Amino acid sequence: MKIGLIGCGRMGGALIEGAITAGLVASSDVLLSSRSKESAQTLADKCGAVVAENNSQVARESDLVLLGCKPYQIIDILNEISAELPGDTCLVSVAAGITLQSMEGASPEGTRIIRAMPNTPSLIGMGATGISKGSHATDADIAIAQKLLGSVGIVLETREDQLDAVTGVSGSGPAYVYTFIEELAAQGVKEGLDADDALQLATQTVIGAARMVEQSPMSPAELRNQVTSPGGTTLAGLKALTDSGFEKSVATGVAAAAARSREIAAES
């Protein structure tokens, strides 16, 4: 199978490198194009893929084309490559907010399209991605997209209308967690720690707690109860967090990101 990438930026590059490293595709079967030849060449130098003449060559010669450009460029690129698509090509878009309907409208009738919503930890192989199938895409297309995106993290198939929730939880989620780590460390400094030590402790605490949730049969609530003794420090901290609106802040943050995702999709 030949995989093409149009848009050799951070996300597209990470996915292609992940797919090659995972052995999903041979580097010689990967064709790259980008706005500038330099970006495509830089990625080719890293992973051994082949630089194409232009986007049209990628469209013509690939079984699967990954669209790694910015959301506002997607429709123009589909218009540019439509005439070159052989008809049995599957397109996979990672562009936030660009709906399957709008991509199908800009592609030849019957084009098989998968829309994905990855997140930034995909860049280090720890991504969390939701994918949805367009009206002509097949189960085999979903399976290959799951393998491609699964080479840099976990992938869940969802309905397209659930991708806004995916955006609110995992798409935007890393930024919430960065903010939490930042505040945890800043308060550690106020409590007397050195800044480097505070950041290390806060970061490892988030990694460790996430691993506990992942590896334990217990729910997050059960794990929390296990470490909260009556009259203890954790209970004092948790009560103060709740009294300050911690859970409500997380809920309103997720709701606002999902609502913004719905707005962007409606505009596309």
Ligand X SMILES: NC(=O)c1ccc[n+]([C@@H]2O[C@H](COP(=O)([O-])OP(=O)(O)OC[C@H]3O[C@@H](n4cnc5c(N)ncnc54)[C@H](OP(=O)(O)O)[C@@H]3O)[C@@H](O)[C@H]2O)c1
What is the Cα 222 distance to its own chain's centre?
29
CB-wise, 31 or 198, nearer to ligand X? 31
68 annotated to a ligand binding site: no
Pairing type for strands 64-67 and 3-6 reads parallel
- Our CB check for ligand X shows the closer of 73 and 228 to be 73
Closer of 67 and 137 to ligand X (Cβ): 67
Does the annotation flag 47 for ligand binding? no
Closest residue (Cβ) to ligand X?
9
81 known ligand binder: no
For residue 66, the minimal CB distance to ligand X (Å) is: 10
Given the complex with ligand X, which of 39 and 151 has the nearer CB atom?
Answer: 39
- Compute the Cα dihedral for 140, 141, 144, 145 and give only its sign: negative
Residue numbers at the binding site for ligand X (CB under 6 A)? 6-12, 33-36, 39, 55, 68-71, 73, 77, 94-96, 118-120, 171
Is 10 annotated as ligand-binding? Answer: yes
Query: HSE (CB half, 13 Å, CA atoms) of 124?
Result: 3
Give the Cα separation of 26 and 30 in Å (integer): 7
Nearer to ligand X, 39 or 107 (CB): 39
Feature table: binding site for NADP(+): 6-11, 34
Feature table: binding site for NADPH: 55
